[in-house]
Structure 1
Amino acid sequence: MKTTNPVLSRLGQAAERERAAGSAGYGQPYPSAAGGYPAAPPAVQPMTIDDVVVKTVILLGIVGVSAAAAWNLVPDALLGAAWIGAAIVGLVLGLIISFSRVANPALVIAYAVVEGAFVGLVSKTFESFYDGIVLQAVVATFGVFFLMAVLYRARVIRATPKFARGLIAVMAGLFAVMLVNFVLSLFGFNTGLRDGGALGIGFSLICIVVASLSFILSFNEVEEGVRLGLPQRYSWTAAFGILVSLIWLYLEVLRLISYFQGDD
């Protein structure tokens, strides 16, 4: 089995080793719970697209509950400190999950809880200035998501190796710029990237386009994972990738809409 994604290739090889180990042990005496005939060796269940869909819905539900809880429970005086703390913890968890070679559902769920709190606090702040903006951003985000799903399904946009390399490079560059901009803002420097001016609007539009295209990579990883026969637990990792893109897209859409409703 070959794939253009080296990470998926390694995971696919690991899955084959697990299946081979299970097959080699077949016929050997495994203790049964009832103490009767030996039980068959445990089979490695491959993930399916349905598994990823279910896990994604579960994670979105967790994000929604966590966001609602943070919105209603965190005092207004602590909003700023709380969302900065949630953002830092979410970033750390996201990096651990992204660079880990083992699927960890507990970490993915923890990420959804923390990011839900972050999204809820940021949404509450924007909603306090612009009434109805959260609903508009949610509708726009899922509208873009379903549009990208249709375009991918129709193969209008393909996740070729060149496309993947280019998009990953652009994403890394954007995150580096946002991190530097955030650090500078802590020291009182304003670069204009997050203002309502032409530069801020242009930067948000670029982020929205890139976040939208990142769904193509996520959809392709799901298909490749299913084709490679990755174990079922990796459906959590695939759902995590989709969730990250959804949250990023939502936050950028939220900010862009605010630019056209008044001063930020």
Structure 2
Amino acid sequence: MSSNFAFNNPAFQQQDPRKAATYPGAPQNGTYAPPPAPTAAQAAAVNANLEGMYAAPAAGAIETDRMTVEDTIWKTVGLFAILVATAVVGWIWTATSFYNTGEANLVPWIVGALGGFVLALVVMFTSRKKVRPALIFGYAAFEGLFIGAISAWFEIIWPGIVMQATLATLAVVGVTLALFASGKVRASAKMTKIVMIAMFGYLAFSLLNLILMWTNVLPQELMFGMRSAPSPLFGIPWGVIIGILVVFMAAYSLVLDFDQIQQGVRNGAPRKYGWLGGFGIMVTVVWLYVEILRMLAILRGNN
């Protein structure tokens, strides 16, 4: 008996030549007995079966329960559909309150921002153990409420700005995806480290700017805090310069998202991990849209 249980089949064991072997095609009386030739009907059945296998469509994500690029794309589209639906609610809620009272209702803005932030943290910290699509759906819903509210508020102050920001966001995403698909842009370890350091620096700047605005340290005429202040570079507001850098960081983050999705497909990750791929893309696209929206507001703003 072999030490490997896979070889315990009689076909892999030495047979006593004085006894007839018990598996098909086994040697008989010390000689190899070839299997009988198939009949015409058997050969036709085998050929028909092979032709049917070749003609059948390739197994997809549902049949294999494995992550695919196509399935991840559809999951991402579904998440953005949820975001757009709740964005309409946030937009109508904010715009209606403004036209009725003259002041924008910040409830959908705050609820959407806090709810999206909390669920994003939960998804990121729990995804190593288990993927929970319901939490990702909730994130998309809260994030849509926030996007709709903030977009309506910006549109009231600067008419047409939402369409400009939307087209600019789609342009950046489309160009990044095209460059990645063509192989002209790829993620690298060195560039990833640089972008991560830049992101932490941007986060520290944003928190400091927010604190200075809340504590009224900065003049109120600076609507976006230090972002609205002119820089030594031809008087261009700091928010525009920082915004351009952030657009590049967000575009590279999209490259990382696409690369991670491809890696998951190559590793044969379970199909449910496609929701994480869609979640990552949504986080990056929302960040990109908000930054472009704010940058356009600074360019057009009455600061």
CA deviation after TM superposition for structure 1 residue 221, in Å: 0.5
CA deviation after TM superposition for structure 1 residue 196, in Å: 6.2
Secondary structure at the aligned position of 2:212 is classed as helix
Secondary structure at the aligned position of 1:97 is classed as helix
1:259 matched residue in structure 2: 298
Moved more, 199-208 or 160-169: 160-169
Report the TM-score, using the length of structure 2 for normalisation: 0.69
| 8 A Cα contact 2:111 2:142, kept in partner | no
Q: CA separation of 1:211/1:193 partners in 2, compared to 1, >3 Å: closer, same or farther?
A: farther
1:60-139 superposed matches below 5 A = 60-74=80-94, 75-76=97-98, 77=103, 79-100=105-126, 101=128, 102-139=130-167
> 1:220 aligned to 2:246?
no
**Alignment gaps of 5+ in structure 2:** 1-62, 219-223, 231-236
Q: CA RMSD in A?
A: 2.0
Number of aligned residue pairs:
223
1:50-65 superposed matches below 5 A = 50-65=70-85
What is the distance in 2 between the residues matched to 1:62 and 1:238?
16
Q: CA separation of 1:105/1:56 partners in 2, compared to 1, >3 Å: closer, same or farther?
A: same
> 1:194 aligned to 2:227?
yes
Task: Specify which structure has the bigger relative contact order, considering alpha-carbon pairs within 8 angstroms and separated by 6 or more residues.
Answer: 1
Q: CA separation of 1:256/1:134 partners in 2, compared to 1, >3 Å: closer, same or farther?
A: same
1:35-80 deviation line (CA, Å, top 9, x unaligned)? xxxxxxxx87111001110011111111111010111134234533
1:160-186 deviation line (CA, Å, top 9, x unaligned)? 222223222322332232233223322
Equivalent residue letter for 1:207: V
> 1:209 aligned to 2:248?
yes
What is the distance in 1 between the residues matched to 2:93 and 2:158?
21
Equivalent residue letter for 1:144: V
More helix by share: 1
What is the distance in 2 between the residues matched to 1:177 and 1:79?
27
CA deviation after TM superposition for structure 1 residue 108, in Å: 0.6
1:121-170 deviation line (CA, Å, top 9, x unaligned)? 10001100111111111111011101001111222221122222322232
Q: CA separation of 1:193/1:56 partners in 2, compared to 1, >3 Å: closer, same or farther?
A: farther
**Alignment gaps of 5+ in structure 1:** 1-42
Pick one of 170, 175, 195 that aligns with 1:167.
195
Higher radius of gyration, 1 or 2? 2
Q: CA separation of 1:97/1:207 partners in 2, compared to 1, >3 Å: closer, same or farther?
A: same
Report the TM-score, using the length of structure 1 for normalisation: 0.78
**Percent identity over paired residues:** 33
Q: CA separation of 1:173/1:226 partners in 2, compared to 1, >3 Å: closer, same or farther?
A: same
CA deviation after TM superposition for structure 1 residue 201, in Å: 1.4
What is the distance in 1 between the residues matched to 2:110 and 2:201?
22
